[in-house]
Each structure stands twice: as structure tokens, then as C-alpha cells.
Structure 1
Amino acid sequence: MTVNGSTGSPRRGGRPTQAEAAALHQRLREAAVRTFLDNGYDATTMVAIAEAAEVAKATLYARYPDKRAVFLDVIPWALSRAVRPEPDPDDGDSDGDLRATLLAIGRAAIEHALDPDIVQLHRIARNESHRFPEFASAASSLGWARRQQQVMDVLRHHTETGALDIDDIELTAEHFIAMVEILPARLADFGVYRTPREQRRHLSHAVDLFLRGVMAR
């Protein structure tokens, strides 16, 4: 998982600028994610994270008191990031083609769920959730927030036009995501992946079934 942008060290003499501090934070997060992915939680050390980020241990400890704090910060951050740019909710929707829009969102959701780093991060999060009660309560939905909001925006628009009949936009968006994303993600946990053709068939069926339930009569 990579991020574009400067990761240079703060300039010598004086406090780092806000931009430099943000770049350093991102650099540390990237290094921590790579280290957790490579080593797992138990085998990861603060020294290993600092070495991966190419910073002094003091620099890492100035931001995080221990490995636990690093884990609590970087795992939700990593899981909430999109692997690729999200489709615009208006893509395929200018002519009222709601089905095309939901298919595009569904494809992005599945692509994100099946990314190898995301699969491994979810495994690490679940394996370590017993140590992090404040983290376990949200571990199953860490990657959903932005996509759920996107689906809500689409559904709200079409409800306002009268095309859809939905009482609870938020709950309906959550069910849509569960229909298209959760089973492929759980299969991936066991190394089981559908063929592209099977994936398209399952997604199309899920979208059509969803629409039959929310279309205005």
C-alpha cells in the first residue's frame, strides 16, 4: 500500500511545518502497515517500525507511546482507504441508470475487499481483536463508512425523485453493501475466489434483487 507525496525529513533547525508533520505521520503509518503485514502483530516491534520508516526510534516514540497505540491508529486508517479511486456516484447516472451506478459501486467494493493487503489486514484485525476491545467493536465495518455514505447519497437522490421507496436510507445502504461485498470478502479469508465471470453474475443478481426490493411500486 503506497501513498504519493513527500516523505522527506523535517528541515533542520526549528519546528517542522504542518505539512512536514503530516508527511511524517503518513510515513510512519505506511511503515507500520508494511511491518504489521510482513510480521504480524506479535513479531512487530517499535524498532522494526522505525527502521521501516527510516526514522530514529525517538521520532516514533514522540508520536506513539507503544506498539499498541500504533496498531490502534494505523489499522483502521489502512482499512478505510480505497485501493483505487471510488466511482463517482453520478457515473452512469446522468440518464437515470441507477442499476449501472450500483454495479459500479459494487465492483469497487469487491475490488477493495479482495485486495491482498486488505484481506490480510482484516485477518490481523480479527486475530488481535481480543486484545483491543475498543477496536473490536468496529473491526467488521472499518472499510464501510465512505462507501456507505456514497450509497446513501445515490439512494437519497432517487428516493427524492420518487423512483425508490425507502424509509431508512442508512440501513438500506448498509444492506446493499452487505449483499455485494461481505460474502466475497469472507470467502477470501479462506483463500477462495470466484472467477471474474462468477463475480459479475453474483453482483448483477445482488443488484437486481436489491432493486426489486426498493423500487417504488
Structure 2
Amino acid sequence: MTEGARGKGRPKRTEIAEIDRAIRDATLQVLLEHGEAATMHAVAQAAGISRKSLYARHPNKEALFRDVIRALLMNAEALGYDETGTAEEQLQHYIEAALAAIARPASQAMQRLLRRDHGYFAALKTEMLDATRKIFFVPLATLLVRAKTSGELAIDDVEATARATIQLIFAEGLRPDDDRPRGLPQRGAGDYAAFLTRLLTRGLTPRND
């Protein structure tokens, strides 16, 4: 919906929400297409609003990007994955889903922005930590508790195991392509998920002494 489609007077709450959603969608689209070179003009065009309306909500490009990323983080949902099968199979499903979430174009665009300007990271640190816990940690900790309770995996510290697993996932999923070792075969997401699952479960499988 463009601004010209609305009547005169103060916008309704639903119209304001639609405009904000259009701005978020447009900002992600422009970031994907242009990266840090994205402009307020391009975002306004993509959102179908005037630059005046965009600047009334976000005084500059940095504030726009920060506000959009903050909204996305605060509205994030827990990671969904296939919860069927054994604990080991569920763990591999979880790792595959986590790697896929990190590899999404919108996620990659935000990662590039955060790497290039640490000011965004500093401003959004609390929201990023909260979102990471909600998206990744809680579902994994729930999986590990189930596996521990059923006796499928021997886990002394669920929280520490979940944190270490997520760090290993992020170490692979968040690494820039130009930071990967040269001359080594590139492991696909599925292969890495299987490798990491074996690495974890071999150390967590109960032993019959």
C-alpha cells in the first residue's frame, strides 16, 4: 500500500503497522541487493512511501538499520526442527535447521552489516543475546533434557552442553566465505550437521561399565 492510497488525516493504527512492516521488508530487500551501500531513498521507494515519511520514523540510515534489526530480533521465534526419531537423529535435525536459519539471505545480510560496523553490535547486544537464547538455546536445551531424562544421552550439564553446541554451529555457519581455509574440501551443511552430531553423541552416549 502506497501513501497515496490513504485518505487524509491521522493514519489509523493498522495503517501505521502496515507502513512499519513495509519499511522492514523494504530495508531487508535493499540490504540484500545493495548491502551497506543501501540508501534511504532506495528503502523509501521499495516501501512505497515518501522519504519524508521514512525520515520521520528513522532520522538516518544507521538508525533505520538498527531499528529494523532490533524489531526482527525482538519478534524472533524459537527454531523449529523435526522432533521425530532418536535423540541423535533429533540432534542432527536441530543442527541442520540451525545452519539453515543462519544461511538465510536475510540473516546473511544482517551478519555482513554487523561485521562491517561494530556499532550495530554494541547497540543491539542485549537484543541479540535474548534472540539467540530464544531461537537456538531454548529448543536445544529442551531436546537435551528429554534425551537425558530418557537415558539416551549422558549429560552432566545441559546448559553448558547447549552453549558449546551452539558455539560450534555458529563457528561454521557464521564464518565468512573468504575466511574458510583454502585447498580443503568444503563441507555441506548436511555433512557438517552429521559430523557435529557424531562428535557430540560419541561423548554423550551412556557407557556400560
TM-score bracket relative to the smaller structure: 0.7 to 0.9
Which residue number in structure 1 is paired with residue 160 of structure 2?
171
CA distance in 1, matches of 2:56, 2:84: 47
Going from structure 1 to structure 2, the CA distance change for 1:144 and 1:132 (only over 3 Å counts) comes to: closer
Q: Does 1:200 align with 2:190?
A: yes
- Provide the residue aligned with 1:20 in structure 2: 15
Query: Could you list the per-position Cα deviations for residues 142-163 of structure 1 after superposition, in whole angstroms to 9, with x for gaps in the alignment?
Result: 6664022211121122233444
1:127 Cα deviation after fit: 0.6
Runs (5+) with no aligned partner, structure 1: 1-6
1:35 aligned residue (30, 34, 50): 30
Paired letter, 2:24:
R
The corresponding residue for 2:202 is: 212
Q: CA RMSD in A?
A: 3.5
TM-score normalised per structure 2 = 0.74
Aligned to 2:84: 92
Specify which structure has the bigger relative contact order, considering alpha-carbon pairs within 8 angstroms and separated by 6 or more residues: 2
What is the CA distance between 1:177 and its match in structure 2?
A: 2.2
Give the distance between the partners of 1:206 and 1:132, measured in 2 at CA. Answer: 28
Question: 1:62-211, aligned counterparts within 5 Å?
Answer: 62-77=56-71, 86-88=80-82, 91-93=83-85, 97-130=86-119, 133-135=122-124, 145-186=134-175, 188-190=177-179, 194=186, 196=188, 199-211=189-201
Q: TM-score, normalised by structure 1?
A: 0.72
Q: What 5-or-longer segments of structure 2 have no aligned partner?
A: none
Q: Distance in 1 between matches of 2:123 and 2:166?
A: 24
User: What SS does structure 2 have at the residue aligned with 1:186?
Assistant: coil
Query: Which secondary structure state, in structure 1, belongs to the residue aligned with residue 175 of structure 2?
Result: helix
2:197 maps to amino acid: V
Identity fraction in percent: 27
**Deviations along 1:87-111, whole A, 9 cap, x unmatched?**
25xx214xxx111111111111222
**In structure 1, how many angstroms separate the alpha carbons of the residues matched to 2:49 and 2:120?**
28
Residue 46 (str. 1) matches residue 35 (str. 2): no
